[in-house]
Structure 1
Amino acid sequence: MKTIASLSLICCTALLGACADMGHIVPQSQQVDANALGGVGAEQTGKAVEAAKWPQTQWWKAYDDPQLDALIDQALAGNPNLRIAEARVRQAQAIAGGAEAATLPQIEAKTAMTYQLFSEHDFIPPPQAGHVDWYNRAALEATYDLDLWGRQRSTLAAAIDEVKVAEAESQIARLALENNIVRAYVQLSLQFALKDIAEETLKHRVKGLDVMRKRLAAGLATEMDVTQLEAAVPPLQIQIEQYDEAVTLLRNQLAALSGKGPSAGAQIARPTMKLEGNDWLQLPAMLPADLIGRRPDVAARRWGVEASAREIDAAKAAFYPNINLMAFIGFQSVGFSRFINNESAIRGIGPAISLPIFDGGRLRSNLGAHTAAYDASVENYNATVIHALESVSNALVTAQSLQQQQKMNDAAVATAVHARTLASKGFAAGLADFLVLLNSEIRLLSQEQLQAQIAARMLESHAALMLALGGGYQPEHQPEPVKQASQPGDDQPKTEQP
């Protein structure tokens, strides 16, 4: 009869918990369907990536510059921001370990010794009743949360998803660091090239000025002609100094990104990077589903949605009775004379049940907060997907436009070279003025300056595309769909998509 009464009590308790009002709180946001967005990547992000399946391609190796490779290796080993991101991964793993511990049996050794006055009307018999003595207890106590409604399991699942978020964010930091180094290195290469062109232009300007001064002395030119050429010299000198400044600043930046001081930047030589061919632009017309899905920022937001969904499940489970199984074994006595012996042994086992009935709306508020956080995670994911598609499209558009600009500028450079050749032959034959030859040289240098700028932008566009693709294209796995938060109104919270 006692067993039947106990079971009846547990059943009634469970029914009372099942009747707790969740207030019809449901998520309001839905994950965007990438297939409906259109344009580049319309079939890309319908699925999530598996943890730690990041592109392993060292995409910067395409530039064939050993110094750049060394700089990135140093940065990955010593950049403080990257170390911070890795520490956050370890922190998330430790938190997940704590959540896992809550799903396992807990055993504690407890000892209590209290010197106290015992009541004459309590369970302590004479001669201790009404007197002062020691009350001693030493026992091993075990507790186990039966987790009938999955609260601890959902909390653990959310913590594991947060580890995946931290891992993805670490990959974001890594990829951003690589990209920043490449971009700074491209700019360093460009500043060297522009400085060379400016110095060559200055040399031609000075040579032309010398010729004009000789003409002035011979009465073949005016003071105005000389002054105009003189005025063109200082701006070029200032420009060369500005290029020197930019080179020093970029070296300092690269040293800092590598986790070193400015003195290390002084050791960085002129870049020798180049990018052979345009195979990297040959992407499928419709990118495969996992290409954008493996971007670390998309993956991080996706795992954030997963974690928020599991936190909703844990918040729903709080509306149900919490049943713990408790057991203990040890010794208990009044006084020390018979403390540790068989007559003082104690042991016991039984359930401990807690039931939320009136909590002033605390549980509904908690559920509402987690539901709102889920909506925010979904919208954050949606915004990231849209940005991912946009960044890939923009990188491709820019790279393809630069490819056309490069072709047109190559033709312009060829024309300028031909014009300079004709001017040189005409001057040698006495059929053209020296200033004609000088102007043809300067026009060619101006065209070469534009050529260097387009080449640098092409290198940067390659880096931008690699960043947009999450570091490179390596389809290696089949991603799995993300589970959604369960909806209220079920008999109990679920961890599967309804």
Structure 2
Amino acid sequence: MRNVTALGALTLSLALAACDMAPKYVRPDLPVPATSPQGPAYAIEGGQGAAVTADTGWRDFFTDARLARVIETALANNRDLRLAVANVEQARAQYKVQRADLLPTVAGTGTATYSEQPLVQFGQSQRLNTDVYQAQLGISAWEIDLFGRVRNLTKAAQEQYFASVENRNAAQTALIAETANAWLAMAADQERLRIARDLEQAFGKTLELNKARFAKGIASDLEVRQAQTSYDQARSDIAQATTLVAQDQNALNLLAGTTVPAADLPDVLPQAGATLENLPANIASDVLLRRPDIASAEHQLRGANANIGAARAAFFPNISLTAALGTVSLGLSGLFASGSDTWSVAPSATLPIFDFGRNKNNLRYAKATYDAMLATYEKSVQTGFREVADALARRGTMNDQLEAQTSLRDSAKVAYTLSEARFRYGVDSFLTTLDSQRSLYSAEQSLLSTRLTRASNMVELYRAMGGGLK
């Protein structure tokens, strides 16, 4: 009968231990349309075999070997990424500390007590010396988690750890994108510097021609001054582009965490691009759940849900156990002798009666925190959806814009060649040539900016769709 009673008590304890005060977590519905936007700004469909962005490793996506080496250097040396990794280790350690509360802490103690007392016996006074030796193994105030308070605190710490891992992944994705964009910006500025130098030479020749014509009385001082403006503008742009290239290199070194070797620096913006081109033209919204920033926000939401359970459990009795098993003896030699063993068990229960609203307001705080995390999660989803939609809108019209800018540059180049020839033969005034020079310069700059925008758009689309982790 006693065994049956003990078994029943054990079964009841296990049943109670399964209690969980936390609400059942259900992933919120995505507060965005089911698919990416459609319209004239968006491409109709991707190419055959379009890459699944989140499954495409960055080494496969970035096809320029120099750029890939710079990204690899940044991943190994960037201090912000190191900080994110350290935050992961901190969260992991905190989770393991909290998880340890699920199990009792066993401690060993040893004590020795020496005392002396007066003893009067048969009219005679004596001194009684007593030596007591004791050794114990025991647990102290271990909380028996019947209502899931400790388990939910542990789960919240675990979700915080998972969120820190995703934050680290988000930091890696952002670092890859920033490094690629900095490399591409330097490539564009290098090419901008080359364009300015080429035009400086061309404008310099025109200036010398006008000076020679002026010396012979053929051209006016006005034409010389007009030629001088184009030449000086090119010189100014050379100085500015030189500064930009140096600043781009400094930014790249900061991202890489070290000095990038000269062999890995770009000289021109790659004509064929530095990345894969075949990315999907539209996506289902649930793909956003693979973005690390959105995954982190959901782990934070799960953790807030678990904290509600811990706050609810505080309304129920807190049951703890203190127990010890050991041996005690009046002499050191008999400490472990037969019959010297001792044990004690001291369970205790505490039920809050008057806490002046502490537990009630802790529960309110936990629920409000959940609401805040829910809003953060939904905002993260909406932000991710917008970033993808913006990148797709830019991509959908980029080829048309690039084609138009290329045609514009080619036409401006031909117009400049013709106008310069007509000027040399005295058919047109220099004003026509001057306009052609400025139009060509502007067209060259606009085409370069469009090419940079297109290359950066591919990087942004890759990042926004959750790539960059492999």
- For normalisation by structure 1, the TM-score amounts to 0.76
Q: Does 1:380 align with 2:379?
A: no
Name the aligned partner's letter for residue 176 of structure 1: A
The CA deviation string for residues 82-115 of structure 1, in whole angstroms up to 9 with x for no partner, is 1111111122112221222222243211223345
Corresponding residue SS for 1:153: helix
* Cα drift, residue 61 of structure 1: 4.6
* Cα drift, residue 310 of structure 1: 0.5
* Cα drift, residue 207 of structure 1: 1.0
* Cα drift, residue 81 of structure 1: 1.1
Superposition pairs for residues 375-454 of structure 1, below 5 Å? 375-420=371-416, 422-423=418-419, 440=436, 442-454=438-450
Structure 2 Cα separation of the partners of residues 60 and 283 of structure 1: 21
Q: Residue 2 and residue 114 in structure 1: after superposition, are their counterparts in 2 closer, same or farther (change >3 A)?
A: farther
Structure 2 Cα separation of the partners of residues 374 and 336 of structure 1: 59
Corresponding residue to 2:152 among 140, 151, 154: 154
Which residue number corresponds to residue 41 of structure 2?
A: none
Q: Residue 133 and residue 365 in structure 1: after superposition, are their counterparts in 2 closer, same or farther (change >3 A)?
A: farther
Structure 1 Cα separation of the partners of residues 402 and 385 of structure 2: 26
Name the aligned partner's letter for residue 158 of structure 1: A
* Cα drift, residue 438 of structure 1: 6.7
Structure 2 Cα separation of the partners of residues 429 and 192 of structure 1: 35
Which residue number corresponds to residue 214 of structure 2?
A: 216
Which residue number corresponds to residue 89 of structure 1?
A: 88
Deviates more, 1:343-352 or 1:297-306: 343-352
* Cα drift, residue 39 of structure 1: 6.9
Corresponding residue SS for 1:342: coil
Corresponding residue to 2:460 among 461, 464, 482: 464
Q: Residue 367 and residue 333 in structure 1: after superposition, are their counterparts in 2 closer, same or farther (change >3 A)?
A: farther
Structure 2 Cα separation of the partners of residues 211 and 230 of structure 1: 11
Contact 1:330–1:345 (CA<8 Å) still a contact in 2? Answer: yes
Corresponding residue SS for 1:139: strand
Structure 2 Cα separation of the partners of residues 387 and 379 of structure 1: 12
* Cα drift, residue 160 of structure 1: 1.5
Contact 1:31–1:382 (CA<8 Å) still a contact in 2? Answer: no
Contact 1:388–1:468 (CA<8 Å) still a contact in 2? Answer: yes
Which residue number corresponds to residue 137 of structure 1?
A: 134
Structure 1 Cα separation of the partners of residues 399 and 152 of structure 2: 51
Structure 2 Cα separation of the partners of residues 80 and 56 of structure 1: 26
Q: Does 1:360 align with 2:356?
A: yes
Superposition pairs for residues 276-291 of structure 1, below 5 Å? 279-280=277-278, 282-284=280-282, 287-291=283-287
Structure 2 Cα separation of the partners of residues 189 and 351 of structure 1: 72
Name the aligned partner's letter for residue 309 of structure 2: D
Q: Does 1:64 align with 2:63?
A: yes
Name the aligned partner's letter for residue 90 of structure 1: E
Name the aligned partner's letter for residue 91 of structure 1: Q
Structure 2 Cα separation of the partners of residues 167 and 266 of structure 1: 34
Q: Residue 276 and residue 366 in structure 1: after superposition, are their counterparts in 2 closer, same or farther (change >3 A)?
A: closer
Q: Name the count of aligned residue pairs.
A: 436
* Cα drift, residue 139 of structure 1: 0.5
Deviates more, 1:149-158 or 1:306-315: 149-158
The CA deviation string for residues 42-81 of structure 1, in whole angstroms up to 9 with x for no partner, is 9xxxxxxxxxxx9352347545321111111011111111
Deviates more, 1:431-440 or 1:98-107: 431-440
Q: Does 1:33 align with 2:29?
A: yes
Which residue number corresponds to residue 305 of structure 2?
A: 309
* Cα drift, residue 265 of structure 1: 6.8
Corresponding residue SS for 1:454: helix
Which residue number corresponds to residue 166 of structure 1?
A: 164
Q: Residue 78 and residue 295 in structure 1: after superposition, are their counterparts in 2 closer, same or farther (change >3 A)?
A: same
Contact 2:173–2:467 (CA<8 Å) still a contact in 1? Answer: yes
Structure 2 Cα separation of the partners of residues 203 and 222 of structure 1: 22
Which residue number corresponds to residue 268 of structure 1?
A: 265
Q: Does 1:110 align with 2:104?
A: no
Structure 1 Cα separation of the partners of residues 298 and 203 of structure 2: 59
Provide the aligned C-alpha RMSD in A. Answer: 3.9
Contact 1:298–1:384 (CA<8 Å) still a contact in 2? Answer: yes
Name the aligned partner's letter for residue 267 of structure 2: R
Q: Residue 444 and residue 411 in structure 1: after superposition, are their counterparts in 2 closer, same or farther (change >3 A)?
A: same
Name the aligned partner's letter for residue 314 of structure 1: A
Q: Which runs of 5+ in 2 are unaligned?
A: 8-20, 39-52, 120-126
Corresponding residue SS for 1:260: coil
* Cα drift, residue 150 of structure 1: 1.4
Structure 2 Cα separation of the partners of residues 451 and 92 of structure 1: 48
Q: Residue 276 and residue 243 in structure 1: after superposition, are their counterparts in 2 closer, same or farther (change >3 A)?
A: closer
Contact 2:203–2:227 (CA<8 Å) still a contact in 1? Answer: yes
* Cα drift, residue 309 of structure 1: 0.5
Identity of aligned residues (%): 28
Structure 1 Cα separation of the partners of residues 325 and 469 of structure 2: 60
Corresponding residue to 2:245 among 238, 244, 247: 247
* Cα drift, residue 297 of structure 1: 0.7
Corresponding residue to 1:234 among 232, 235, 245: 232
Contact 1:194–1:243 (CA<8 Å) still a contact in 2? Answer: yes
Contact 2:223–2:430 (CA<8 Å) still a contact in 1? Answer: no
Contact 2:318–2:349 (CA<8 Å) still a contact in 1? Answer: yes
Superposition pairs for residues 458-497 of structure 1, below 5 Å? 458-471=454-467
